[in-house]
Amino acid sequence: MAAGTSARGRAARPRQYDLDSLLAVAVSVFNERGYDGTSMEDLAAAAGITKSSIYHHVPGKEQLLRLAVERALEGLFAVTREDGAKTGPAIDRLEYVLRREVEVLVERLPYVTLLLRVRGNTETERWALQQRKTFDRFVQSLVKKAADEGDLRRDVDPAIAERLVFGMINSIVEWYRPGRVPVSTLADGVVTLALSGLRGKGS
Amino acid sequence: MAAGTSARGRAARPRQYDLDSLLAVAVSVFNERGYDGTSMEDLAAAAGITKSSIYHHVPGKEQLLRLAVERALEGLFAVTREDGAKTGPAIDRLEYVLRREVEVLVERLPYVTLLLRVRGNTETERWALQQRKTFDRFVQSLVKKAADEGDLRRDVDPAIAERLVFGMINSIVEWYRPGRVPVSTLADGVVTLALSGLRGKGS
DNA sequence: TTATGGACCGAACGAATGGTCGGGTGACAT
DNA sequence: ATGTCACCCGACCATTCGTTCGGTCCATAA
């Protein structure tokens, strides 16, 4: 984003970071090595900078994690406040949220990836887990409502179904990379699979 | 397993580990804190033993990881060699593998959990990732065959579908704990959801 | 020209980490 | 009684960790 040769000045002044561009690098490394498996030296090397320089931008390693998961959670919770998630039959709201969640997940892929891998070792991580739980409960209530309105199959426990569909969506971060397949195709696939299943009958 | 007061001897000789029981403790801690986030002291504390004692049973931290993921992979690959995975229409083989994978995953829950979280920092981890990829390709070929035989819906790319269903199953380790819900119910839910979807029409 | 301030650096610190070493203790077989 | 062996211990080591500090460089503003 803000890294690279500045406007003027021959071959001088390469790499120059601000908080945002440094965060992008850090998150990328976190996702590759895992948060605990990443040292400040790893980050420094990836950024082409020294360890101590990182502390000019950020007060510590944990803050980088915090900023990243905040960015992810912000996107996720924004969906729950959108119209499509609040009006109409629960089954439609559910479909809307599923599709939108896929979109947000792809849009902020590295940040959401990191969020989904949080384990709970630090205060920041525990806070992130709590937030995820809150979001989870929102979707859970949608599934419950759709079941109550008779729009879901009755031979699968709604609680289990929610976990599974949720897990399916979250697993996207493990393999999807933007470019090859358009997001809309992915989102269609998710919604179709979640609601109508894999088996035949399709056009 | 083998920890506890020995047959004879008053209140003497508490905790006494063999490789297996120690591994069980270690894997449990790995899953809670993450492999990189777990120190040998953490393991020692959880086992009620000193760090140095651990080295009596195992040559190092990485070996514990190795033993654990081997246990998981062994169970997974055993499925691919079973009859149900090798005979009959691909769609039936697929259903068989899905159900059996759920069963193995639950049966060896802590080990498979650890396997699914491997990142690739050490040689052992990279080997584990390679093995997972091999298993993945096996399931992929099943989905492909089922598609060729016309038993899958044609409006979702088989490659994407396989990833999603695979991800759904793998996500089970994040929430399922044996006891509350029987494995058979879970497996039924997975197969139903994967093949027929969430939406109505069910009995 | 000088001063301000953002981005960066090398050297160093205390704490934690994975691992080693030499020794101890008790159950069991001889 | 003695020796063996599995299991355990405390003390220690070299390295790596996250973090701090004092200082340099240079683009821009006054």
The answer to whether the beta carbon of residue A13 comes closer than 7 angstroms to any atom of strand C is no
CB A50 within 8 Å of CB A17: no
The confidence score (pLDDT) of residue B8 equals 36
Helix (H) or strand (E) holding B96: helix B90-107
The CA distance from B201 to B31, in Å, is 39
Helix (H) or strand (E) holding A150: none
Compute CA distances A155 → A134, A150, B201, whole Å. 27, 12, 10
How many CB atoms neighbour CB B113 within 10 A?
21
Q: From start to end of chain A, where are the E strands?
A: none
Residue B152's beta-bridge partner residues?
Answer: A199
CA dihedral B99, B197, A193, B173 (to 10 degrees): -40
8 Å CB contact of A165 and B198? yes
In B 35-94, which Cβ lie closer than 7 Å to strand D? 48-53, 56-57
Give which of B197, B199, B132, B196 is closest to B166, Cα–Cα.
B132
Give the DSSP letter of residue B85. Answer: G
Give which of B89, B115, B88, B87 is closest to B101, Cα–Cα.
B115
Give the DSSP letter of residue A156. Answer: S
The CA distance from B16 to B2, in Å, is 7
Checking if the pLDDT of B201 tops 80, the result is: no
Partner A contacted by B201 (CB < 8 A): yes
CB A186 within 8 Å of CB B183: no
Identify the band that residue B4 occupies on the pLDDT scale cut at 50, 70 and 90: very low
By Cβ distance, the residue of B154, B155, B202 closest to A155 is B202
By Cβ distance, the residue of A36, A156, A170 closest to B34 is A36
Minimal-distance CA residue of chain B relative to A164: B168
Classify residue B10 by burial, with Cβ atoms within 10 Å: 0-12, 13-18, 19+. Answer: exposed
Q: What is the pLDDT of residues B120-164, one digit of tens each?
A: 999 999 999 999 999 999 999 999 999 999 999 999 999 999 999
Residue A178's beta-bridge partner residues?
Answer: A181
The confidence score (pLDDT) of residue A193 equals 93
Whole-number CA gyration radius for chain B: 20
Checking if the pLDDT of A62 tops 70, the result is: yes
Q: Cα(first)–Cα(last) distance of chain B, in Å?
A: 43
* Residue at token pair 């699968």: A156
The confidence score (pLDDT) of residue A202 equals 44
The CA distance from B38 to B20, in Å, is 19
Sign of the four-CA dihedral A119, B56, B73, B84: negative
Total-model pTM: 0.92
3 state SS of A88: coil
Q: What is the pLDDT of residues A157-191, one digit of tens each?
A: 999 999 999 999 999 999 999 999 999 999 999 99
Q: What residues 133-172 of chain B have any CB closer than 8 A to a CB of chain A?
A: 150-157, 160-161, 163-168, 170-172
Give which of A175, A149, A145 is closest to A162, Cα–Cα.
A145
The confidence score (pLDDT) of residue A24 equals 98
3 state SS of A91: helix
The CA distance from B2 to B24, in Å, is 11
